[in-house]
A and B are shown apart, each in its own frame.
Chain A
């Protein structure tokens, strides 16, 4: 009870919307809470699983058979590279002492000064930093959904390091590291802007620069295994409980509330996507149901610690319908080759979620956030500014990094012959299955 009281007071006093922005201000007088620490260690492990297991299978199953392993490899190395970048300088850039609201200082380079006794709120700083690391890892891995089947592996390796450093870290700082978006009062509980809009827009830019896959729109490009994709979606869903409920950073009722709305939104979105597709294309596909799950999880992410149960159903339904039309209509109309729909699902539904947070944030759920429907019309303006700023910064910075990568690796795209043969064989010298 006491803890809830002072957590509430803290938000009341600072008026800072984001829970993650607050902790270090009062770290000095807080004590370690073993319940919170245990939950955050578990949450970190849950979110970790989302990248090399959940996303790898979700994306791998959707890519063509000849590129299945390449997709897994890109996901795995994204996780590994971002892990190393994060402990070297990434954490410091995102959560180091604020420099003008834009970026963190390098004071925590290679975890300098962080000991097992250091605390962030009621949990050890190293646990907090690791939890945040898993977010950096999945965000950059999400980008590759737009560009599988055609990007050079070396270019992906370089791009990952640059992108985490120069795009992810600044945006994470703005929202969660006491940067300007947090000061402005933008609400992003678990990463609508930082993770999903960021990755979706970066993916779209990368897909536009890389160009379409050979045969796009002419040849049949069958997913290698919808079964793997469905399993990947289930693992993402499971891990997302750590992602969203863990973003409370404590094991309390707010974490439970985030858990509840996360599951509800995912289920509602899966059903909404399924029924929309069933009606329009006459078949309720498994790929559609799995995609709907992810769309609902994405949309509830920024809202998870701010909205109530009723809102989560509405957000889920909207995400399922929007996701379907993004990938089945918008993409065809605009003609870009967002191979596995990183933009269509993460960019679009992330934007939906960030806006919905500004509408549905209920002070009865979390005193830190009040949306339009609860009497705070300015919140939607703040959300719009945060969405636009994230999208514009990501688009421009990603474009610069793409050309830098291109200069360093002598081209972003695999040779035409290798693209036809398939990257599993051409790049890795392996094949995913031996089926006879």
Chain B
């Protein structure tokens, strides 16, 4: 069984998270630059008296598919590496994955990740 871990983190924490995952043998990840907001909300910018609230804050989304037995360790490592204790640290979502295929070799399942 495989699980997908999606972690929304602060952009400057990406390198820490990557190194922490490499250290436990995770060999790949997909990263995107995303924008969004949660409890952190946006921030206010004022240009010559005109106030604009910037709702969407830049974040990094990491997607990793892992074998189920590694899941708890991966989630713990991401949390540890991306943690600052301040509002806006991010979230981790875990979903089941039905299949994975490595294009080059045709391997499937956990062999492909």
Contacts and interface: CB of A to CB of B under 8 A. Distances in A.
A328 B49 contact: yes
A222 B48 contact: no
Q: Looking at chain A's contact residues, is the secondary structure mostly helix, strand, loop, or mixed?
A: helix
Interface string A278-318: 00010101011001000000000000000000000000000
A223 B47 contact: yes
Contacts of A254: none
Contact of A221 (B46, B49, B52, B53): B52
B50 interface: yes
Q: How large is the interface on A (under 10, 10 to 19, 20 to 34, 35 or more residues)?
A: 10 to 19
A329 B49 contact: yes
B54 interface: yes
Contacts, number: 29
Contacts of A291: 48
A331 B47 CA distance: 13
B48 A221 contact: no
B54 A285 contact: no
Most chain A beta-carbon contacts within 10 A, residue among B46, B47, B48: B48
A215 to B, nearest CB: 11
A281 B49 CA distance: 9
Contacts of A341: 48
A327 interface: yes
Contacts of A327: 48-49
Interface of B: 45-50, 52-54
Given A221-B52, A222-B45, A285-B47, 19 more contacts: A62-B47, A220-B52, A220-B53, A220-B54, A221-B50, A222-B47, A222-B52, A223-B47, A285-B46, A287-B48, A291-B48, A327-B49, A328-B48, A328-B49, A329-B49, A331-B49, A332-B49, A332-B50, A344-B48
Interface of A: 62, 220-223, 281, 283, 285, 287-288, 291, 327-329, 331-332, 341, 344
23 contacts: A62-B47, A220-B52, A220-B53, A220-B54, A221-B47, A221-B50, A222-B45, A222-B47, A281-B46, A283-B46, A285-B46, A285-B47, A287-B47, A288-B48, A291-B48, A327-B48, A327-B49, A328-B49, A329-B49, A331-B49, A332-B49, A341-B48, A344-B48
